[in-house]
Structure 1
Amino acid sequence: MLKIWSMKQQQQQEQKEAAANGDGVVKKKVTAAQIRVQKDLTELSLPSTIKTQFPNPDDLLNFLVSIEPDEGMYQGGRFNFTFKINNNFPHEPPKVKCTQKIYHPNIDLEGNVCLNILREDWKPVLNLNAVLVGLQYLFLEPNASDPLNKDAALDLQRNRDGFKRNVRSSMAGGAVAGERFDNVLR
């Protein structure tokens, strides 16, 4: 298990050594957000359907998440998200965006995600695990009563079987109501 405070201690030691050697090289301070994200990441208990990736291992505040639902209407797809965490975390939620154009009531065509804990229900006691589980749940049970994509929500409310057909078609890169979607099938 990673030690949360090890980054801070290492940084202090390096600054002392730099000062003693007369280097004058000052490293950036570790922020409270970085410490909290490191803690959240060490406590993640993700199912095999969710994977995280850090393009820059030195930047814990910006990472990628891939969700591959193993049941429900979105089974067989791979959905990619960017996570951007600012220095006010955990007082502000992470910014989460889907990198693909998908047909989903709670994800608009620009990739914005409608998940209550990413907006008005965010509390500092929530962690990254809660956000990831919430995202996964959106693929198991899309929420038509709080949509970002109103057309998909109406489709789900009015004709569940037709909505399922549209999801399958869109996941394969097809078009729904004249809008072409990204192929997300694995």
Structure 2
Amino acid sequence: MLKIWSMKKQQQEAAAAAPTKSKVQAAQLRVQHDLSRREKDDEDKKNKGMHLNIQFEYEDVENALHFDLVIEPDEGMYKGGSFRFQFDIPETFPFDPPKVKCKQKIYHPNIDIQGNVCLNILREEWKPVLDLNSVAFGLLHIFLEPNASDPLNKEAAEDLRLNREGFKRNIRSSMQGGLVRNEQYDRVLR
């Protein structure tokens, strides 16, 4: 009887472990698919002599669920900057969005000084049909068109709304590693 009880417990443990493993594998497969599409797009841009302003970088190539994304806008107010984001992909991806955090302290209405990012597709508008490229382009977009109506950094949003030229000066100063409103920012110029 004890042997049957032990076998039943082993089966239950194996069944409980199986869904987690398949979720991780599903998330990894989706990430690999998304990144292979991105690599193809990057290759096309290189062949056309275009600048790659979105780059995926891995510290550990064995761990496809954790990586950095570097955004280098080639136009707009943040032109000349290099911004690094940490991506942590949950096991439930693509049903849940990736966790994204800016690794530098930057002056931006949609990114707070702790690196939290306000991007609608990372919250309430996430859908499994969206991919990592959608997130990457969403991040690039907030550098091209900062959004003052849904801010995480309320002071930067206020500057953008009330004094656009002052906002641009603050961006330049902060990107050089300067002080803005008594807050020291990281140097992010290329």
TM-score range, shorter chain: 0.7 to 0.9
Q: 1:166 aligns with which of 154, 170, 173?
A: 170
The amino acid that maps onto 2:29 is I
Alignment of 1:42 onto 2:46: no
Structure-2 separation of matches of 1:39 and 1:182: 33
Aligned match of 2:182: 178
Q: Deviations over 1:42-94 (max 9, x none)?
A: 11135611111111111110001111111100001100010000100001000
Structure-2 separation of matches of 1:86 and 1:50: 22
- Which SS does the other structure have where 1:157 is aligned? helix
Q: 1:31 aligns with which of 15, 25, 30?
A: 25
Alignment of 1:112 onto 2:116: yes
Q: Deviations over 1:98-142 (max 9, x none)?
A: 000000000000000000000000000000010000000010000
CA RMSD of aligned residues (A): 1.2
Structure-2 separation of matches of 1:128 and 1:67: 13
Task: Kindly report which structure 2 residues correspond to 1:146-161, keeping only aligned pairs within 5 A, or say none.
Answer: 146-161=150-165
Alignment of 1:80 onto 2:80: no
Task: Kindly report which structure 2 residues correspond to 1:122-141, keeping only aligned pairs within 5 A, or say none.
Answer: 122-141=126-145
- Which SS does the other structure have where 2:101 is aligned? strand
Aligned match of 1:101: 105
- Which SS does the other structure have where 1:37 is aligned? helix
Q: 1:121 aligns with which of 125, 135, 153?
A: 125
State the number of aligned residues: 159
* Identical residues among aligned pairs (%): 62
Aligned match of 2:6: none
Structure-2 separation of matches of 1:37 and 1:115: 20
Structure-2 separation of matches of 1:41 and 1:147: 29
Aligned match of 1:142: 146
Gaps of 5+ in 2: 1-20, 43-50
Aligned match of 2:58: 54
The amino acid that maps onto 2:186 is D
Structure-2 separation of matches of 1:130 and 1:77: 21
Question: 1:31, CA displacement in angstroms?
Answer: 1.3
- Which SS does the other structure have where 1:65 is aligned? strand
Structure-2 separation of matches of 1:101 and 1:159: 22
Q: Deviations over 1:138-159 (max 9, x none)?
A: 1000000010000000000000
- Which SS does the other structure have where 1:43 is aligned? helix
The amino acid that maps onto 1:36 is R
Gaps of 5+ in 1: 1-27
Aligned match of 1:69: 73
